[in-house]
Amino acid sequence: MHEFSAACSIVDAAVQAAESHNVKKVNAVNVEVGEFTFLIPEQLEFNFEIASKKTILEGAKLNVKKVRGRIKCQQCAHEGEAQLQDDIPSQVAIFAPMKCPKCQSSATVITGGKDFVITNIEAEVSAP
């Protein structure tokens, strides 16, 4: 149900945006999804289809772009993309300290990739 609640909040936000911009038809909603949300793009698209029924978004396509997680090192202040170790699935890695790629310290914090954002909405606007 993780994907369904995410899809609902995307639909809510997109409907609000569409209503405030005099939109008559939405063609696509583009979202960026952080790697640490563990949302599966296919599942999100499927749930978006269900959640958007009977709204202005019905029939619109959800385009999901995955973005890498980011970490910041508290030892050397390096900040960058999280480097997941290949042998640890990311679902587990988020609970284990990630090593700083610069100084190998484990004193890192996740600074990005834990949420999702609507980047833009492709829509047809009614003539004024």
Q: Does 107 bind Zn ion (CB under 5 A)?
A: no
Shortest distance (Å) from residue 78 CB to Zn ion: 5
3-state secondary structure of 57: coil
CB 26, CB 60: distance < 8 Å: yes
Q: Which is nearer to Zn ion, 109 or 125 (CB)?
A: 109
Task: Count residues near Zn ion (CB under 5 A).
Answer: 8
SS3 95: coil
Smallest distance from the beta carbon of 72 to Zn ion, in angstroms? 9
Is residue 43 within a helix (H) or strand (E), and if so which, with residue range?
Answer: helix 41-51
What proportions of the chain, in percent to the nearest 5, are helix, strand and coil?
Answer: 30, 30, 40
Among 2, 24, 53, 102, binds Zn ion (CB under 5 A): 102
Task: Specify the residue, 22 or 74, whose C-beta has the smaller distance to Zn ion.
Answer: 74
Of residues 60-99, those binding Zn ion (CB under 5 A): 73, 75-76, 78
Q: Which is nearer to Zn ion, 83 or 105 (CB)?
A: 105
β-pair partners for 120: 30
The reply on whether position 29 binds Zn ion by CB under 5 A is no
Tokens representing 59 are 């029939």
Q: For the purposes of burial, counting CB atoms within 10 Å of the CB of 79, is it exposed (0-12), middle (13-18) or buried (19 or more)?
A: middle
Q: Least Å distance between CB 106 and Zn ion? A: 9
Q: Contact residues for Zn ion (CB under 5 A)?
A: 73, 75-76, 78, 100, 102-103, 105
